[in-house]
Amino acid sequence: MAIKIGDHNKTDNVHTTKSIELKSDLYVIHDEKYWSKTNISNKDDSIYKNTLCVAMVCALVLTISIVIAIQTEGEPLHNLLFGEASILDASETIHVLQAAQNNGVTIGMHGWAHENYSVLSKAQIKENIVKSQKVFRKAGFKGNLFVPPYKILNVPMDDATKKAIESTGVHINVYATSANEYTWRWRNMKSFNDPEFIEARKQITLENPETIILHAQDWNQFTKQFVLDYLNSTDRTDVIIQMDDIDANTPTSTINDLSALKNHKVVAGVILAVIPASAPDSGDPGILGVPISSIMRLYFILFITTVLFPMSLIITWKLFSDWYIARQKSKHSNIKSVKQPELVSVIVPAYNEEKAIERCINALLNQDYTGAVEIIVVNDGSTDRTAEIVSKMPVKFINLAKNISKANALNVAIEVAKGDIVLFSDGDSNMERGALRSIVKTLIEEPDVDIVTGTVLINPTTKKGIFKNIFMYCQVIEYHLEQEVARGLQALNGKVLVCPGPITAVKRAVLSDVKFSDDTIVEDADFTVTALEKSMKVIRDRDAKVYTDAPETITEWIKQRNRWWYGSLQVWRKHKKWAISNPWMLYNYMGYITSIIAITTTVTIPILLMQYGNRNAAATNAVMYMFIPVVLYMIFNAIFLTHNKKLIPVLVVYMLFYTMLRLFVCSYLYIFYITDRGLNTQFGARKTKVK
């Protein structure tokens, strides 16, 4: 039979084939007319609100906990990954200390990081001293003198502590007489007339000590003059000068001054107590007058607000909603009978699908659905063998001589469709055997639901090669996260944003109010948002599964994503008044902005880190602001991949390569969008520039 379809194409034909005998003009008819229905809705608003409230609180607690952990454990994690920072990182300081040692100065260990050994356990004492000994050996410092921190006066040491220290092979520095810190806190002294300076000179003259204790941070012209005055006035010839708190940031001039004192006639020895764990202070370099530390903190705040908290919220929300739904279902045991629709129409648009269309149709013919079905394939002006293949199969066939766009082709097929429910699929997709049954059942069970989408999976790649397989697995991860997490949460209150082309079922009444449009290059997303704008309910049936072909090369992938993601921006622009009131639309739109932020930070953070004067400061910041966020992102995603553990190892590639590729594409598409540059694209047979 031949049927004229509107004014789209004067040569349109609708063919049927009789190679398989089917009843009722290509309707597949079965006997069973009723399903059992469990009286529980998966899009109940209470589920949405209750789980969201709980998730918000939990996400806030989780985010705060993680932030605190990063701030407190960032340095220990750096030490674990790169080894602990030490004075070895200050090569110039090491060189000057070696010169002092060659001049007869004794280099002593001042603990590991200037800790109080009287409060440490035996194990901690040994661990710290062993680490100090390793640093000293690498630095070329001789001897095993241990100068206990905080032991200013000759106070008897606890026997257990003393034994623990000496068991490591070091000997403890013990003053022959009491020692005094005459110059403590002289770092801020401004004048030789300072009362503290005058009083200290009187005291040291009176006491005439054998040992003088100094601190590196207090060495200045006043301290130096004070020491020289004493050395030049004392009648002793056995003076010991000890300077504590030598670290990686001690000026080399201070060390040289102390080394020179070794040559004074009354000085018997000079001891420099070095803190091994100290690392060079790189200061706070800046760019264009802005301190790098401030920029890094800004990046960290952006990470918290755009990644950490949203991810924490999504994870907790998803887990709570799954638990809540399962709990509600277990409470409802009342079963009702639900009548099947008189007819289901399946519409498959196809353009140049000669490689996949037969597989697609066979999958539809082999569905286990027990009601009447009509399959309508609309060939949208294909230039390959698509029409030839379809014409030989037991389906209704609309053959358009010219390409009129997928949206218009779907509208043509809708005019022909007679079903109470219309299911849309794509020519490169193939449904699982139970997909049609499941999605129709879901749509019938929910009287206030208008549209149901399913789960889109990826057909295994037919090409060999490690890259192609990994690239395919990255897309599998992406599809899974998008559908199981974002789309699953959107379905809780019937507001799924995108019903993808491979599998979407609608009630006939919907098609009276909502038509497919070629205003955008993503007719499925535009169709869904139009329905939502009209207050229709859109949910998801996770058990209605369909497989589709994914791009196998980066070039093909970019072409696909250009259409998807730029098309989404078109949908935003077209429905902006409604979109700004929808949290998920806002979240998706913010994704483009955060993509630019993420790309910017990825490029600039390494540049900023290179401004630090030493590798330790750079490595510590890299751990806190790059490594930890990446690991957290991977952990969060891994939570949703436990069903398929072989995907978890691919997360490394997914994060470091695939996600960066996504961010890059999203970034330039958004720039094209906000600058109104538009995008050159090919959709079907049409090459066009879209705005």
For residue 226, give Cα distances in angstroms to 192, 236, 657.
Answer: 9, 16, 63
Q: Are residues 374 and 237 in the same domain?
A: no
Query: What confidence score (pLDDT) does residue 539 get?
Result: 96
For residue 349, give Cα distances in angstroms to 159, 255, 367, 373, 420.
Answer: 88, 82, 19, 17, 19
Q: Are residues 435 and 358 in the same domain?
A: yes
Q: Is residue 249 part of a domain?
A: yes
The answer to which of 167-176, 556-565, 664-673 has the lowest mean pLDDT is 167-176
Q: Report the number of distinct structural domains present in the chain.
A: 2
pLDDT tens column, 492-549 = 889 999 999 999 999 999 999 999 999 999 999 999 999 999 999 999 999 999 999 9
Domain boundary among 532, 550, 568: 550
Q: Are residues 255 and 375 in the same domain?
A: no
Q: Are residues 350 and 236 in the same domain?
A: no
User: Predicted confidence band at 691 (pLDDT cuts at 50, 70, 90)?
Assistant: confident
Query: What confidence score (pLDDT) does residue 156 get?
Result: 54
State the Cα–Cα distance between residues 377 and 413, nearest whole angstrom. 8
341, 444 Cβ separation under 8 angstroms: yes
Q: Is residue 615 part of a domain?
A: no
Q: Nearest 5°: phi and psi at 240?
A: -110, 125
Q: Is residue 95 part of a domain?
A: yes
Q: Is residue 628 part of a domain?
A: no
Q: Is residue 505 part of a domain?
A: yes
Query: What confidence score (pLDDT) does residue 82 get?
Result: 54
User: Predicted confidence band at 469 (pLDDT cuts at 50, 70, 90)?
Assistant: confident
Q: Are residues 342 and 412 in the same domain?
A: yes
Tell whether the model's pLDDT for residue 279 goes beyond 70.
no
Q: Are residues 26 and 93 in the same domain?
A: no
Q: Is residue 328 part of a domain?
A: no
Query: What confidence score (pLDDT) does residue 623 get?
Result: 67
Q: Locate 129 and state its tokens.
A: 């001293």
Which residues are registered as beta bridge partners of 42?
Answer: none
Domain boundary among 518, 550, 582: 550
Q: What share of the chain is helix, strand, coil (3-state, %, to 5)?
A: 50, 15, 35
Query: What confidence score (pLDDT) does residue 681 get?
Result: 79
Q: Which of 147-151, 596-600, 630-634 reaches the highest mean pLDDT?
A: 596-600
State the Cα–Cα distance between residues 206 and 228, nearest whole angstrom. 16
Which H or E run includes 475? helix 466-481
Q: Is residue 250 part of a domain?
A: yes
Q: Are residues 264 and 364 in the same domain?
A: no
Q: Are residues 387 and 249 in the same domain?
A: no
Q: Locate 683 and state its tokens.
A: 């959709």
Domain boundary among 274, 292, 308: 274
State the Cα–Cα distance between residues 357 and 353, nearest whole angstrom. 5
Query: What confidence score (pLDDT) does residue 466 get?
Result: 78
Q: Which residue has the higher pLDDT, 503 or 446?
A: 503
Q: Are residues 363 and 252 in the same domain?
A: no
Neighbours of 73 (CB within 10 A): 14
Q: Are residues 3 and 149 in the same domain?
A: no
The answer to which of 178-187, 298-307, 623-632 has the lowest mean pLDDT is 623-632
Q: Locate 313 and state its tokens.
A: 């919220």
3-state class (DSSP) for residue 629: helix
User: Predicted confidence band at 335 (pLDDT cuts at 50, 70, 90)?
Assistant: low
Give the type of residue at 616.
N
State the Cα–Cα distance between residues 585 and 105, nearest whole angstrom. 70
Helical H segments across 332-452, by residue range: 357-365, 386-391, 406-416, 435-445
Q: Is residue 13 part of a domain?
A: yes
Query: What confidence score (pLDDT) does residue 684 get?
Result: 66
Q: Are residues 388 and 253 in the same domain?
A: no
Q: What is the mean pLDDT of the chain?
A: 85
Can you give the CATH number for the domain in which 235 is found?
3.20.20
Can you give the CATH number for the domain in which 426 is found?
3.90.550.10
Q: Are residues 8 and 112 in the same domain?
A: no
State the Cα–Cα distance between residues 329 and 529, nearest whole angstrom. 29
Quote the domain boundaries for residue 428. 1-30+338-550
